[in-house]
Amino acid sequence: MPLGQRPGDKSESRYCGIETEFHDDMPQLLTYSLSGGFDFVVAPLVDPSYRPSIRNNNGGATILPVSASDLVLNPSQWSSHVVGKISSWIDLDSDNEEVRLDSEITLKQEIAWASHLSLQACILPAPRRGSCGNYARCVNQILQGNNMQLWLRVPLEKSEIVDGSTDADCDLTGGRMLDSWECWNTFRLLCEHHSQLGVALDILSSLPCNNSVWRWFGEPVRAAIVHTNSFLTNARGYPCLSKRHQKLITGFFNHSVQIVISGSLLHNIAGDSGDEVLPAIDDDSPIEALPARHELKPYLDYVAYLYQRLDPLPEQERFELGYRDFLQSPLQPLMDNLEAQTYETFEKDVVKYSQAAEETGRKLKVYAVEKNPNAVITLHSLVKLEGWEDAVTIISSDMRCWNAPEKADILVSELLGSFGDNELSPECLDGAQRFLKPDGISIPSSYTSFLQPVTATKLYNDVKSHKDLAHFETAYVVKLHRVARLAPTLPVFTFAHPEYSNKGNERYKKLRFEIPLDTGSAVVHGFAGYFDATLYSDVHLGIEPSTLTPNMFSWFPIFFPLREPLYVPRGSTIEVHFWRRSGATKVWYEWCVTSPSTSPIHNSNGRSYWVGL
Ligand SMILES: C[S@@+](CC[C@H](N)C(=O)[O-])C[C@H]1O[C@@H](n2cnc3c(N)ncnc32)[C@H](O)[C@@H]1O
């Protein structure tokens, strides 16, 4: 039973699961959990006392002691209501060879059984030590030949590094406090960022600082396992969460992370009779109705309350849902001719036009210069429709080569891309300023691009799926959602108009991003880009996050990927170089990183991505 109705939210985060112990009557366990309101169980599939070597020592091939025959549920019930929990005793990096071998056999058997049952995902136990090479090798091997999602369990815990400690062979459950993100990062590096490898975060009573927590939102976190001991008690004795926990859970809802309740009942709620009878999962199910007041229902109710309390998604967000983290090629309005439906989308963005609208009280004479012959036809119809024939003259020409019959007071243009100058506004306006009076002005009068480093596993995997260099050296327009912004933006290139100096439009900028110390270490998959434009005087318009113009949807951010994810140790500075370069027929960007490690120069000579002049 989903947590509630939220218009537009079709994401996984509507569902809440429960972690259970091994139970040899899976149908009963499932009925109890589902009729208690949970949507799925995270359950061990095999008896935890099972050890392959003991079976072998006994000399007989016994069958795997599983929690239930596959026949007790149909495949769609298994798939939608059960997430497999791999035996937590396994230790693939143990010094004890027997434990190690038993662990490997068990892991493979359990995943094979889970695949047979059609489960969508299994949760892997947290690595027991910092050095987890053999565990990762086995998981990586499984990932090569299986469609199953594997979610590595890691605690969301404090990230202070004890002086002098090393990662190697440090017991994660022991006294020294390690950053659990490091453990995850090592594991996924060993597994080459496999797209089916995700994270299940254990949420405990204490939370690390905000920066450390929020870096997880760029990682493939699939489940948040909230322990009953992280709940506080309200005045009526019911479970509730601290403000910080509430904010975190809301963040999970917004990022399609499923909540799983784990642990035992720690709240003594007076008056809960527990004698309700609820129906079984569906009519043709073999599962019988049972007395079903689940003892952890108060925790579920509280999570549902947090979900239902969320504001409805604003209409714009709903409209943009399908674009979230979806890579698009930037438009090339100069080289290509835009289509009617692209213009239609632009024109729906009222905010963009109202920012520039001005009541002059003067009679205006307008030359509308458009190089797209198809758009020119539309413009003629529009002028007729509006009765503007006396005021507007339509010119079908490229502004760079049109010979204006008279000079203008104001040059109004709309040539900006997500990164400001990336649709070649500088080149077009330089060409057009010939027909501006010496004291004439341009709207916009200037624009600046901005960049910031981001963790964006989903985008990285999407770029990587093309299996070529060119896609790693291309900029994409994308509605960023599952990303962690690791530092405030920094300005990159500024262009002002009219521009009478001869400095040209090539640019170079070196940027240094300081990652806050309390973030801990992080990984950078690329750089998010934005722009801010000064239209005139103090009127601005843009998508730079700290100053963005509300309710505007014409521009999503731009994303410049890195060929290899950049590991950024705690307290590091990221040094990035960006170039805007041009040739006879094209303009392009090149970029690289020189600290904390060095990347190749991306898109050298515009070999992979360029904008046509
Ligand atoms: C971003 S669109 C403007 C959309 C328009 N404001 C609307 O809402 O429909 C940029 C327009 O400028 C035109 N354009 C780009 N470069 C040009 C140039 N050098 N000369 C004339 N028109 C140009 C494109 O064909 C396109 O129609």
Rounded distance, CA 11 to CA 98, Å?
43
Rounded distance, CA 97 to CA 240, Å?
45
Catalytic residue among 414, 499, 564, 575: 414
Q: How far is the CA of 333 from the centre of ligand 1 (A)?
A: 6
Tell me what the mean pLDDT of segment 261-288 comes to: 60
Please tell me the predicted confidence (pLDDT) of residue 162. Answer: 42
State the closest ligand 1 atom to the C-alpha of 398, by its place in the atom list counted from 1: 20
Quick check: CB of 475 below 6 Å from ligand 1? no
Rounded distance, CA 435 to CA 69, Å?
81
Q: How far is the CA of 398 from the centre of ligand 1 (A)?
A: 10
State the closest ligand 1 atom to the C-alpha of 375, by its place in the atom list counted from 1: 27
The reply, when asked if residue 398 is annotated as ligand binding, is yes
Rounded distance, CA 595 to CA 510, Å?
11
CATH number corresponding to 14-310: 3.20.20.150
Q: Which amino acid is at 24?
A: D
Q: Is there a catalytic annotation at residue 423?
A: yes
pLDDT at 177 over 90: no
Tell which one of 366, 395, 415 to mutate to probe ligand 1, the residue whose CB is within 8 A of the most ligand atoms: 415
**Please, are residues 450 and 491 in contact by the beta-carbon 8 Å criterion?**
yes
Please tell me the predicted confidence (pLDDT) of residue 131. Answer: 85
Percentage, residues of the chain above pLDDT 70: 91
Please tell me the predicted confidence (pLDDT) of residue 176. Answer: 54
pLDDT in tens, 194-234: 999 999 999 999 999 999 999 999 999 999 999 999 999 99
pLDDT at 166 over 90: no
Percentage, residues of the chain above pLDDT 90: 77
Widest pairwise Cα distance in the chain: 100
Please tell me the predicted confidence (pLDDT) of residue 324. Answer: 95
CA torsion sign for 226, 228, 232, 236 is: positive
3-state DSSP call for residue 583? coil
State the closest ligand 1 atom to the C-alpha of 400, by its place in the atom list counted from 1: 19
The reply, when asked if residue 352 is annotated as ligand binding, is yes
Q: List the residue whose alpha carbon is closest to atom 24 of ligand 1.
A: 333
Quick check: CB of 346 below 6 Å from ligand 1? yes
Q: How far is the CA of 377 from the centre of ligand 1 (A)?
A: 14
pLDDT at 440 over 50: yes
Rounded distance, CA 442 to CA 344, Å?
25
CA-to-CA dists, residue 374 to 342, 347, 397, angstroms? 12, 16, 12
Rounded distance, CA 578 to CA 596, Å?
16
Rounded distance, CA 487 to CA 412, Å?
34
Rounded distance, CA 214 to CA 224, Å?
14
State the closest ligand 1 atom to the C-alpha of 331, by its place in the atom list counted from 1: 1
Query: Among the listed ranges 149-158, 398-407, 436-445, 585-594, which one has the minimum average pLDDT value?
Result: 149-158
Q: Where are the domains of the chain?
A: 14-310, 443-612
Q: List the residue whose alpha carbon is closest to atom 25 of ligand 1.
A: 372
Rounded distance, CA 268 to CA 83, Å?
29
Backbone angles phi, psi at 32, to 5 degrees: -60, -45
Same fold? 14-310, 443-612: no
What are residue 477's DSSP bridge partners?
A: 328, 558
**Please, are residues 242 and 194 in contact by the beta-carbon 8 Å criterion?**
no
Size of the chain in residues: 613
Q: What value, to the nearest 5°, has the Cα angle with vertex 229 and ends 228 and 231?
A: 75
Q: How far is the CA of 430 from the centre of ligand 1 (A)?
A: 15
Query: Among the listed ranges 30-39, 150-159, 370-379, which one has the minimum average pLDDT value?
Result: 150-159
Q: How far is the CA of 612 from the centre of ligand 1 (A)?
A: 14
* Distance of alpha carbon 297 from the chain centroid: 31
Rounded distance, CA 279 to CA 41, Å?
17
3-state SS, one letter per residue, for 54-107: HHHHCCCCCCCCECCCHHHCCHHHHHHHEEEECCCCCCCCCCCHHHHHHHHHHH
Query: Is the bond preceding residue 330 a cis peptide, omega within 30 degrees?
Result: no
Query: What are the strands, taking DSSP E only, across 413-557?
Result: 436-443, 446-455, 476-477, 484-485, 490-496, 507-514, 522-536, 539-542
What are residue 16's DSSP bridge partners?
A: 259
Quick check: CB of 400 below 6 Å from ligand 1? yes
Q: Is there a catalytic annotation at residue 21?
A: no
Tell which one of 370, 397, 447 to mutate to probe ligand 1, the residue whose CB is within 8 A of the most ligand atoms: 370
Q: Is the ipTM of this complex over 0.90?
A: yes
Catalytic residue among 423, 473, 544, 590: 423
CATH number corresponding to 443-612: 2.70.160.11
Distance linking the first and last C-alpha atoms of the chain: 55
Read off the tokens for 501: 């100096």
Rounded distance, CA 519 to CA 453, Å?
13
User: Confidence band (pLDDT; 50, 70, 90) for 158?
Assistant: low
**Please, are residues 509 and 580 in contact by the beta-carbon 8 Å criterion?**
no
Rounded distance, CA 179 to CA 495, Å?
43
Please tell me the predicted confidence (pLDDT) of residue 547. Answer: 97
Q: Which amino acid is at 525?
A: H
Nearest to 290 by CA among 33, 78, 45, 26: 33
Tell which one of 348, 355, 371 to mutate to probe ligand 1, the residue whose CB is within 8 A of the most ligand atoms: 371
CA-to-CA dists, residue 400 to 294, 403, 426, 438, 497, angstroms? 72, 9, 11, 18, 14
pLDDT in tens, 338-353: 999 999 888 888 887 7
